[in-house]
Chain A
Amino acid sequence: MDFTTETVNGVTVVTLQGETLDASNAKALKTDLVPVLAPGAKLVFDMKGVRFVDSSGLGALLSCLRQVHSSGGDLKLCEMGKAVRALFELVRMHRIFEIYNSRDEALRSYSAGA
């Protein structure tokens, strides 16, 4: 899956550009994200274009989360579509990830302190 990155106030915003994050591309995405998951990185994943996430996709996101946490960084999610949000809430992932409605709110959460 393609993605773009930009840095805002020391936070790296990754905008995912594919519509589906699933068994066909989850592993590849994880590999492609390795440079972004630098030690101590503060990350926001903008999920606006993503329409469908399956178990593999969840696993890829969890893997990213674990990796940044273990190096002292953080990863937050934002701009989730309704169906993806419903999935996250169904499996209680919204307790594991910090999920914000908008990119601004996600960025602000970093400024507001740990």
Chain B
Amino acid sequence: MKALILGAGRGTRVQPITHSLPKPMMPVLNRPIMELLVEHLRHHGVRQILVNTSYLSGEIENYFRDGARFGVEIGYSFEGRMENGHLVDAPVGSAGAIRKIQDHSGFFDEPFFVLCGDAIIDLDLTRFAEFHHSRGAVASLAMLDVPRETVGSYGVVVAEPDGRILGFQEKPSPEEARSTTVNTGVYLFEPSVTDLIPSDVAYDIGGQLFPDLVRRGAPFYALNLPFRWLDIGKVTDYYEVLRLAMVGGVPGVTVPGTEIRPGLRVGPNVRIRPEACTIRGPVSIGASAIIEDRATLLGPCYIGPGAVLEAGAVVEESFVFEYTRVSSMTHLNRSIASGRFCVTGEGVTVQVAESGLDWVLSDARAPHHAIANPQQMLEALIRLADES
């Protein structure tokens, strides 16, 4: 079987994290989401995967390359063009992506999965395929039951007991929803579905193709099989997934590092004296990071490779990207931080670079002036105001 991973979206609801990363490359601890999807597809026998790319396409293509390292063949369908030496995005929609590939080479010559590149799943794809074939479906989707009061966040699927889809409701109120089963963005299509997608025009699976299938009375089915679905729609979702990953709750993710103290794992070349720090697990520290004496780490925390926590820094239930310097003045609490930004688990962003806060969070590779003590910092800030 073959698969398409949708990787062309801009991820505007997960800013600022997607400022420099496309959504499928958002890391869950030490590996991008998309790597988990590739592994899952491979586990279920998929050996050829296409990924449509647009926004920051290089991040995806340079990491996965031809897929050999991951035991599969990966190819890309780039949606955009080069203008004046740089790449310009021109996404064509989730269904448009399928059509573009089909027009290019007829790649989809057997049933193929389509996965959204921003959700982690452990759905039994083999059983999904069996269901699809047993119904003689031309298209199937995997749906999940959710609490009724939450249906307003999803596309509700209305289906008969055998799974035949009757229709959809986009983000209905709990009262109007005709069911509590929702679309998870995991699909299985027969090649004939591609004939229903027009060429050279932006076209969307959920918004256009699916209603068309329903209108035509095509054999279109929904599988209702429980599975783990971690959808990273907004920053709060991402933060919760990172927390879950640190306690082994994300399928396919193990906490990296060697355990040197109970609840403390470190990669190679990490400089740390645990006895001189305050540490409460679970904490994982990436390779070559520096944790100075008197730093405080209150887990769950993951510190990316090359990061630096200065003496006095407090990282509490937070996730620090690679090469981030956290200054001695800083207290990260339930946040995600890089050298450029800090965003709380509730989605509130502090633009570090714009706020002249490089003394708080910065790139560990950049020259810096250490702040000796809080008094010195206050003096510096007051001087800064006087000079403005």
Interface of A is mostly: helix
User: Is B342 interfacial (CB-CB < 8 Å)?
Assistant: yes
B 340-353 binary contact with A (CB < 8 Å = 1; else 0): 00101010111000
> Contact at A90–B385, with CB atoms within 8 Å?
no
> Contact at B348–A62, with CB atoms within 8 Å?
no
> Contact at B385–A60, with CB atoms within 8 Å?
yes
> Contact at A96–B378, with CB atoms within 8 Å?
yes
Report A-chain residues with C-beta under 8 Å of the C-beta of B359: 55
Report B-chain residues with C-beta under 8 Å of the C-beta of A58: 381, 385
Q: Determine the residue in chain B with the shortest Cβ distance to A55.
A: B356
Q: How large is the interface on A (under 10, 10 to 19, 20 to 34, 35 or more residues)?
A: 20 to 34
Report B-chain residues with C-beta under 8 Å of the C-beta of A91: 329-331, 357, 360
Considering the chains assembled together, what is the distance between the CA atoms of A56 and B380 in angstroms?
A: 10
> Contact at A55–B384, with CB atoms within 8 Å?
yes
Q: Determine the residue in chain A with the shortest Cβ distance to B377.
A: A91
> Contact at B385–A57, with CB atoms within 8 Å?
yes
Least CB distance from B336 to A in Å reads: 12
> Contact at B385–A52, with CB atoms within 8 Å?
no
> Contact at B386–A54, with CB atoms within 8 Å?
no
> Contact at A90–B381, with CB atoms within 8 Å?
no
> Contact at A55–B357, with CB atoms within 8 Å?
yes
Report A-chain residues with C-beta under 8 Å of the C-beta of B62: none
Report B-chain residues with C-beta under 8 Å of the C-beta of A82: 346, 348
Instruction: List, sorted by A's number, 29 A–B pairs whose CB atoms are closer than 8 Å.
Output: A23-B388, A26-B384, A26-B385, A27-B386, A52-B355, A55-B359, A55-B384, A56-B385, A59-B381, A59-B382, A59-B383, A59-B386, A62-B378, A62-B381, A62-B385, A82-B348, A83-B348, A83-B349, A86-B342, A86-B348, A87-B350, A89-B331, A89-B333, A90-B342, A90-B350, A91-B331, A92-B330, A92-B331, A96-B378
A-side residues, CB < 8 A to B, are 22-27, 30, 52-60, 62-63, 66, 82-83, 85-87, 89-92, 96
